[in-house]
Structure 1
Amino acid sequence: MKSEFEQLVVAKNYISVLEKENEALKAEVGNQFKMRKKLEAALKAEKEVKEKMTPKEKIQIKMDLYVRQQKESLESCSNKLRDCRKLTEQLQTELIKTKLGLTNGK
């Protein structure tokens, strides 16, 4: 059994560790709060800008987004087409080799 002094030392060390952990958590909460405030301010500013936009500007932004999405879609389809062409060439080559093998084997 530990003496009272040893128990006090252990308790003091434990309290010290808890205090350090508490300070670290307080700092993290403070950082999160600051980040939240910055994000809220940015969101508010963005909303204000959006409210001040003319209908023409809003349409332009939507058009730009649509064009970008269509370009990405086109690029994806082009990649798929290229892959399919490669696969078709490979299959045609295998078919020719198979036919030649059957012809030569007979």
Structure 2
Amino acid sequence: MNDETIVSLYWARDESAIAETSSKYGGLCNHIANYILSNYQDREECINDTYLAVWNAIPDKHPNRFSVFLSRIVRNLALKKYEYISAAKRNPSVVTSLEELGD
């Protein structure tokens, strides 16, 4: 299925647009998310969030190149997830015991 048809399915609010996007660009989305996120569950969550973001964004925007539009969304969501995971206050590699601080 070509990109114009997929975008028109999104415009018509047809849920098969998500399945067609996954079928055609699932590998691309997985590759981008895999490059940024190491955890399988985080990648899957990012890809699912991408489909939701595309579903919500398409009525307002008509992308010239759907693959670039989709890639940008998955990359930005993966980077946000990576930032969240690796934040200093949640990163166990920077945890210092209270005994070490007391010395």
Instruction: Give the TM-score normalised by the residue count of structure 1.
Output: 0.31
Structure ID, larger Rg: 1
Higher helix share: 1
